[in-house]
Each structure stands twice: as structure tokens, then as C-alpha cells.
Amino acid sequence: MQLLLIHSDYIEYETKKRTPVAEEIDPAMKSSRMEEVLTAFVAVESYDEADPIATAENAADEIRKLAGQVKTERIMLYPYAHLSSELAKPVVAVDVLKKLEETLSRDYEVKRAPFGWYKAFKVSCKGHPLSELSRTIRVGTEGKGEKEGRDEIVSEALKSEEKAISHWHVLTLDGELLPIEDFDFKEHPILLSFAEYETSKSRAVDKIPPHVELMRRLELADYEPGSDSGNMRFYPKGTLIKRLLEAHVLDTVGGMGAVEVETPVMYDVNHPTLKKYLDRFPARQYSIESDKRSFFLRFAACFGQFLMNHDMTISHRNLPLKMVEMTRYSFRREQHGELVGLRRLRAFTMPDMHTLCADMDHAIDEFKDQYTMCMKMLADIGLEDDYEVAIRFTRDFYTENQDFIKELVGIVGKPALIELWDSRFFYFVIKFEFNYIDALKKASALSTVQIDVENAERYDIKYIDKNGTEQRPTILHCSPSGAIERCIYALLEKAHLTSKAGGVPSLPTWLSPTQVRLIPVAERHIGYAGEVTAAMNDIRADIDDRDETVGKRVRAAGREWIPYVVVIGDKELESGVLSVTIRSESRKVEETAQELRSRVIAEIAEMPYRQINLPVLLSKRPVFFG
């Protein structure tokens, strides 16, 4: 919206002739005059269609501010199309103007000139410094015009979340639902940290997150100053780790019947179905303007998959129907203060799977399966005992499904934090998350599954049952690993904790960018090292052929957390037996190249493999960081 504000001695107008978009008016509006008045010329623009109400509210705030400064009690709203070349549809414009009039009428004497008429007018400007001002009102974008902050899209869900009342409990292994203050946390210190974090009791910490330093030192990822905050760059080693994690998630859900799809990253804010969904999802969006349409960037794959489901013909024989997408990226415009390293990003990679189930009973069965699958997923990633469970649901759902919920605690074998809502604020009736708690006692959700009881209806998704009649499926949302970047964050934080406790920090072998490092003692051993890597071409082996002492190169391999380090000299050249240092056990073994290769292959067993993502010779590698 464009505003031109004139502090006037008087404004008067007289309607002359209607245009094709003219609104119907009563005789009183045909001509008018106000004195000692703030005249507001208004052009409602196409961008404002994304959120007419917020636009009107923001504009009203701006007008109030100036009215206060120039100490006037009267306001004339005057539609003035010529302030913009990107006008809104007339219907929307009239709505916004009426809303603006209504809002301001509470505190001021307000008149509104009719929309869509040719009018003769006279205005007298007072001419003092504040008497002429223009303002651009933009909802959902920042830094345009003089308005900053507070004019972002805040969805209804985000607003209702502020009002939602949570009841906190712990569900014990005995199936007891205890109020949080009655639970004895003595045996469960991390669950206590998690509970405190969630309920915001204490969070006194003043350290830099360890993973931020590690992600750079290990040349995995870094901030990208050329982009928006929270949009990271990934170096080759970080990219490799990401691809491996992604592959493992896709393989796992593929194994349980999910089919992989791809959907667009941006959607029209004015699409009626999407608009309603936005209002039920508590996240802030990036919005972008293209020609005259406004789009938002997706924060998950729900939109694309549901729109696809809507157009599909689905039989009960196809259920449960699973579709998955590795969203590169999901975008969420998090508040600045919440962004840290790889923990919380504005652009992130997340596996997003949706399962259409025949009804709630089937959904509950599937939920259980996926819950178990998520446990295995985190164990595979290397976070087996490193998460706490949160289960959140509505009171109604609990009443009807107590046994099911108790079973979940039994499966994971430890008490869970429970959040209970009196009524349903979101699209789901139950969700769980597995949360990683880091050294700074901050909690981050990884795996999650939710049972959605709203979107089948909203997107008009249906299947045909045995009797040939249409039914609404119940939909599960599942992210088996949570955001991929966040998994890397958790692994780095975990390694840091290990190191602080006196252990050897490391990544799981299947995720290590280099699995075997060969260190030729002298130049004449490089050729043989090359033969050894050739014999190990299905694991990631590389050669530190730099002209440095053995000691220095061994140290470098240690700083890279490489699981197996081999020094190759005359002895190995003659015997064909290698001296292998096993990082995790801090000991040396004598093995042939084939034995070492088999050891690594056995260790990464069912996990995905990709070839090394840098030159095998370290002398050929550029330095990405430090």
C-alpha cells in the first residue's frame, strides 16, 4: 500500500462521474469537506492481497502515529490510484479502505471518499515539516519504505499458539501420567534439561555453540554472508555427509513403501486452500513478488504433496499411500535471534513424508511403525541414546487412546515429556518428536510424526472404499530424521561432549568424509599408497602426499577425525602388511589392505556409500577454511 499523508487546513471533494470499478455509495458520500484534517491518499496494491487485514492494521498504525504528531482529530481517507502502478483488485481495495475506516473510527472522526469515481477536489497543505509524508506499507517483507519490522505475515496458528495453554506432564514407564512437578528427575537429568527448556524455567548459559567452530574447522559448512542469515554454504565434505544422510533416509522410507516425488518450492499466497493452511501452520514465511503475483516459499513439502493427492485417483487398495520428498530447501523465516549455526536455519533440507491412511485406527498403527522406524533412524545416524521424547496431544485424543500413548513410552523404554492441550490449535491431534539436547542444554526436534485430521478435507483428498464410496483419509506427516543439517549439528555437538568427557571425538564411519588416510613416509612410497587406494576403491581412502613430516600429517589426520590412519614406509612396501591406527580404540593393528577394506565395509554394513568428494591426493586439494 502506498500512503501520501497531508496535514491540511481543509480538504473537499465532489464526485463527478463513475468509472467501471465504482463502488455504490449513498448520497452523503457524494461530496464532503473536512477542516483541520489529516488527508490520507491511499493506493492499495497487489502485494496487499496477501493479507488485506494486516495491511489495513499496519496502515492504521502509521496514520495514528502521524495524527498524534500533528495533533489532529480528523482523518480523510482518499483513494488515489495514481500512487502505484501495481494496483490491487478493486474488490480488495474497497475492503481494505473500509477496514481502515472502521479501525480508525474508534479513535478519530473519519470520512472516506468513494472508490472508483472521478472527483474534483481541493486540498490545502499546511506546509510545516511534518505536513507532507509518504509511506509504503508492506506486509511480509522488510526494509521497504520507512516501515520496518512488525509488518510480517504472522499466521493465525502462530497467534493462537501464543494463546494455547499447555499442561506439562511426564509419562512414566509404568504408564503413569504425572504432573511435571511430581516426577522425580533424579535418574533422568537430560529429560529434566529438556523439560526445563520446554517450559522455559531456566536457560542461563553463556558459551559459543561448539558445533559452529567444528563445522568450519572440519570444512563441512559455513555462513554465507552473501545470502540471508540462516542460509549456509556447504563445502565438499559437508555436502558428502548431507548426501549420505539424505540417501539413508530415502532408502529407509523407500523400504517401507514410500515413493519419492518432487514439488515446487514456491506457492501462490492467494491460492484459497494454501491460504487456509498457512493459517494453521505456525511459521513465518519468506515472501517473494513476481510480476503481479505474490508467492511464499514452502516451509515443508505438505503443499505440493497434498495438491498432488487432490488430483489423484486413490483406491482403498492403495492405502497406506506414502509419498516422500527430500526438500531442498524448506524455508522458514525464523527470527534473527534464534538462528545459530546448523541448529536453526532459514533454508534447510528436510525429508517430508506423508501417509494416507484409511481411518484413525490405521493411522495409529502406521504411527507406531513410523515411531519405531524413527528410533532406528536416529540410531543409524549415530544418536542412539542421545534424544529425549516429547509426545503432544489434545485431551480428547488422550481420553480415547490412552493405551496407545502408553505403548509409545514402552517402545522407547524411557519416560517422555508430555504436552497436553485442552483444545486443538493445530491441524494435528497428536505428534511426537525426538529431541536432541546439546551441551548448552538447548533442545532441538529431530524425528517427528503427526496425525493430521484437517488437511484431507481442506485439500479435498479422497479415496474410494470397498463399497465404491468416497472417504477422507487420515494423514500422517513424518520427518524420519528431522532436518538433515540439524542431524549434523547433533553429531558435532555429541562429538564435542565426548571430547570434553575425555573421549575421542568422531563421526560414524559411514559418514566420515575420509574413512582411511594413507600417509606415505617418503616420496618413494606414494606409488605404493596409490596401489593401496586402488585396492580399496569402494571405500573412501585418500593419500596425504604433502611434503611434511609424518608426525605432522598424523596430527592433521587426527584433527580431521579420520577413523583409520595408515602410515606406509619401506616395511609395508616389503611385507604388504599395513600398520593401521584405529581412532575409536586408540590402538594399532597390522592388517593387509584387503582386511582393512573388509573391516570398513563390514562397519558401514547397511548404510549408503558414496565415493570421496575431493581429490585423493591431499596436495591437489584447495583449502576451504583456515
Residue type, 586: S
Contact segment (CB under 7 A) with RNA among 7-15, 88-96, 178-186, 333-341 equals 333-341
Site for RNA in 574-603 (CB under 7 A): 579, 581, 588
Cross-strand pairs, 353: 324, 478
Residue of 20, 255, 337, 468 that binds RNA (CB under 7 A): 337
In whole angstroms, the minimum distance from the beta carbon of 265 to RNA comes to 14
In whole angstroms, the minimum distance from the beta carbon of 168 to RNA comes to 12
Work out whether 35 is an interface residue with RNA (CB under 7 A): no
Residue of 144, 395, 466, 546 that binds RNA (CB under 7 A): 546
Site for RNA in 145-184 (CB under 7 A): 148-150, 161-162
> How does DSSP classify residue 472?
P
- Residue 384 in contact with residue 434, Cβ under 8 Å? no
Structure-block grid coordinates of residue 106: 474508534
Contact segment (CB under 7 A) with RNA among 8-16, 86-94, 244-252, 445-453 equals 445-453
> How does DSSP classify residue 22?
P
Residue of 103, 444, 509, 512 that binds RNA (CB under 7 A): 444
Name the 3-class secondary structure at 492.
helix
Structure-block grid coordinates of residue 401: 487412546
Contact segment (CB under 7 A) with RNA among 7-15, 242-250, 279-287, 363-371 equals 279-287
- Residue 437 in contact with residue 196, Cβ under 8 Å? no
Report residue 590 CA to chain centroid gap: 47
Site for RNA in 90-149 (CB under 7 A): 142-143, 148-149
Nearest to 112 by CA among 54, 169, 34, 181: 34
Contact segment (CB under 7 A) with RNA among 82-90, 251-259, 269-277, 521-529 equals 521-529
**Cell 546439546 -> residue:** 438
Q: Supply the Cα-derived Rg of the chain in whole angstroms.
A: 31
In whole angstroms, the minimum distance from the beta carbon of 319 to RNA comes to 23
In whole angstroms, the minimum distance from the beta carbon of 166 to RNA comes to 9
Contact segment (CB under 7 A) with RNA among 79-87, 179-187, 235-243, 329-337 equals 329-337
Work out whether 533 is an interface residue with RNA (CB under 7 A): no
In whole angstroms, the minimum distance from the beta carbon of 208 to RNA comes to 4
- Using CA atoms of 460, 461, 465, 468 in order, give the dihedral in degrees to the nearest 10: 50
- Determine the longest span between alpha carbons in the chain, in angstroms: 107
Rounded Cα–Cα distance for residues 398 and 321 (Å) = 26
Rounded Cα–Cα distance for residues 513 and 508 (Å) = 10
Work out whether 565 is an interface residue with RNA (CB under 7 A): yes
Structure-block grid coordinates of residue 283: 511459521
Cross-strand pairs, 470: 464
Work out whether 558 is an interface residue with RNA (CB under 7 A): yes
Residue of 25, 283, 464, 601 that binds RNA (CB under 7 A): 283
**Cell 496458528 -> residue:** 157
Task: Give the other-Cβ count within 10 Å of 181's Cβ.
Answer: 8
Name the 3-class secondary structure at 514.
coil
- Phi/psi region, residue 403 (left: phi>0; alpha: psi -120 to 50; beta: rest), is alpha
In the complex with RNA, which residue's Cβ is closer, 26 or 206? 206
In whole angstroms, the minimum distance from the beta carbon of 236 to RNA comes to 15
Work out whether 547 is an interface residue with RNA (CB under 7 A): yes
Contact segment (CB under 7 A) with RNA among 7-15, 404-412, 490-498, 545-553 equals 545-553
**Cell 604388504 -> residue:** 576
Q: How many residues does the chain have?
A: 626
- Residue 543 in contact with residue 503, Cβ under 8 Å? no
Residue of 187, 291, 311, 523 that binds RNA (CB under 7 A): 523
In the complex with RNA, which residue's Cβ is closer, 46 or 447? 447
Please, where are the H alpha helices in 382-428? 395-400, 402-412
Work out whether 223 is an interface residue with RNA (CB under 7 A): yes
Residue type, 11: I
Site for RNA in 292-311 (CB under 7 A): 299-300
- Using CA atoms of 104, 107, 113, 114 in order, give the dihedral in degrees to the nearest 10: 50
In whole angstroms, the minimum distance from the beta carbon of 467 to RNA comes to 35
Find the helix or strand (DSSP H, E) in which 111 lies. Answer: strand 109-112
Nearest to 523 by CA among 551, 543, 538: 543
In the complex with RNA, which residue's Cβ is closer, 205 or 411? 205
Cross-strand pairs, 45: 87
Residue of 128, 467, 551, 606 that binds RNA (CB under 7 A): 551
Task: Give the other-Cβ count within 10 Å of 148's Cβ.
Answer: 10
Residue of 35, 318, 571, 576 that binds RNA (CB under 7 A): 571
In the complex with RNA, which residue's Cβ is closer, 60 or 567? 567
- The number of residues that bind RNA (CB under 7 A) is 80
Site for RNA in 344-403 (CB under 7 A): 344
- Using CA atoms of 232, 233, 236, 237 in order, give the dihedral in degrees to the nearest 10: -30
Contact segment (CB under 7 A) with RNA among 228-236, 265-273, 354-362, 397-405 equals 228-236
Name the 3-class secondary structure at 219.
coil
Site for RNA in 451-510 (CB under 7 A): 504
In whole angstroms, the minimum distance from the beta carbon of 44 to RNA comes to 24
- Residue 22 in contact with residue 117, Cβ under 8 Å? yes
Let me know if 196 is exposed, middle or buried by CB neighbors in 10 A (0-12, 13-18, 19+): middle
Cross-strand pairs, 416: 171
Work out whether 524 is an interface residue with RNA (CB under 7 A): yes
Residue of 92, 475, 487, 521 that binds RNA (CB under 7 A): 521
In whole angstroms, the minimum distance from the beta carbon of 270 to RNA comes to 22
Residue of 318, 555, 576, 584 that binds RNA (CB under 7 A): 555
Phi then psi dihedrals of residue 56, to 5 deg = -60, -40
Residue of 548, 582, 589, 608 that binds RNA (CB under 7 A): 548
In the complex with RNA, which residue's Cβ is closer, 473 or 482? 482
In the complex with RNA, which residue's Cβ is closer, 290 or 335? 335
Site for RNA in 39-98 (CB under 7 A): none
Rounded Cα–Cα distance for residues 491 and 488 (Å) = 5
Contact segment (CB under 7 A) with RNA among 235-243, 401-409, 442-450, 462-470 equals 442-450
Site for RNA in 183-212 (CB under 7 A): 197-198, 200, 203-209, 212
Work out whether 550 is an interface residue with RNA (CB under 7 A): yes
In the complex with RNA, which residue's Cβ is closer, 266 or 464? 266
In the complex with RNA, which residue's Cβ is closer, 92 or 323? 323
Work out whether 554 is an interface residue with RNA (CB under 7 A): yes
In the complex with RNA, which residue's Cβ is closer, 82 or 546? 546
